[in-house]
Chain A
Amino acid sequence: MLKEIINKQISELRKLWDNKQELLFQLLNLAMIVFSALMIWKGLMFLTKSESPVVVVLSGSMEPAFQRGDILFLNNQDNPIRIGEIVVFKIKDRDIPIVHRVLKVHENGEGEVELLTKGDNNRIDDRSLYAPGQLWLRREDILGRAVGTLRYVGMVTIMLNDYPMLKYVLVGLMGLFVLTNKEG
């Protein structure tokens, strides 16, 4: 069964290589898929004013609201962050953004906001997670507030992170199927 499929794909690829016009067509097809995905991403970035409008939850610190593998949609419009909102923030010198709930809001006379966050499932607030000496989050640390979720979809991303080889296998397979799919 599997061998049959592989052989079929190889013969399809050979045929493609011989027919340069069709090869070009399929390559353009592949490029269209890649670029429309990129366009959607950039469009979302523009609409939500967030540099990463979709993130995957990597820890269980917000359970039961969010679990590992949930996908979060973020919005980073200008209106001020208020108490109880779930925000995604970035700490200096740390790659991975954190999703937690706002525990304290202090807004001074000039409208500058200082925030403290805490995970629903954590016992204490996030001061120990912040950069050394950092007591508060500021507006510019916030990537966006969570507006909605999709469960489990992000599990794929987590697996790709854990097993980097899987990434190449998956991308290769997808490319192959797009190239050899005649109906595309």
Chain B
Amino acid sequence: MHTVWVRLNAVVFFSLSVLLTLALLASFTAHPLILGHNGNPDQPLQPIINRIKMSSLRSLRPHGSVDRALFSIDLNADFTPAFHWNVKQVFVFVVAEFQTKQNRLNQVVLWDKIIEADDKKIINEKNTIIKYSLISQSTDLRGVDVELKVYWDTMPITSTMTMGVGEEVGRFTLPSDYVSKAEKGKEGGGTKRKKRSST
């Protein structure tokens, strides 16, 4: 403690360890017992997924050596409970899970949204066209059972990232024959316009 440099080093290093302690303490408060939704430990820090389902099929077509399906979805969810003081953002994404002859597991992201701490935390998408179309690895999508699930990746300020998945599952079966865009042209145009106005 005899020179300015030694003192500066001591002060900065000590305050950094204090900050580290604060960060650790903050990450512990994410425990549902401490910051449960409305102080209720039975309602942990989980979003409420009200509805996830496929609303209308636009097309199912071969695209070279792969099959490609395009449709729109309904999603209604409230992510307010997933936020507390140690959350920077939540990345919400809708995943299609299905089995094909070639693959025992396929997971494809169809739609995603970043919710930051200051954003509106209620998602209400109606008949919204998916952002990324459902593409298989070969021409094997006809008649496939698809499960739509809502996942969220919570990114905290000081702790580790955690991933969650909603219990609500939207199930549907793709038609056993190809459906081209032309057949559903009118309906598709309508949903497209709707989507533009909502974004």
Contact = CB atoms under 8 A, between A and B. Distances in A.
A84 B109 CA distance: 8
A148 B109 contact: no
Interface of A: 64-65, 82-86, 101, 103-109, 114, 120, 125, 146-149, 183
20 contacts: A65-B88, A84-B91, A85-B153, A86-B153, A86-B161, A104-B135, A106-B103, A106-B106, A106-B107, A107-B103, A107-B104, A108-B102, A109-B102, A109-B103, A109-B104, A120-B91, A125-B132, A146-B161, A147-B160, A147-B161
A84 B95 contact: yes
Which DSSP category, helix, strand, loop or mixed, fits chain B's interface? strand
Q: On chain B, which size bracket covers the interface?
A: 20 to 34
Given A86-B161, A146-B161, A148-B159, 8 more contacts: A84-B109, A101-B91, A104-B109, A104-B135, A108-B102, A120-B114, A147-B160, A149-B155
Contacts of A149: 155
Contacts of B135: 104
Contact of A83 (B102, B151, B155, B161): B151
A104 B107 contact: yes
Contact of A64 (B102, B112, B114, B137): B114
A101 B112 CA distance: 11
Interface in B88-146: 88-89, 91, 93, 95, 102-109, 112, 114, 116, 132, 135, 137
Contacts of B105: 105-107
A106 B137 contact: yes
A83 B114 contact: no
A108 B103 contact: yes
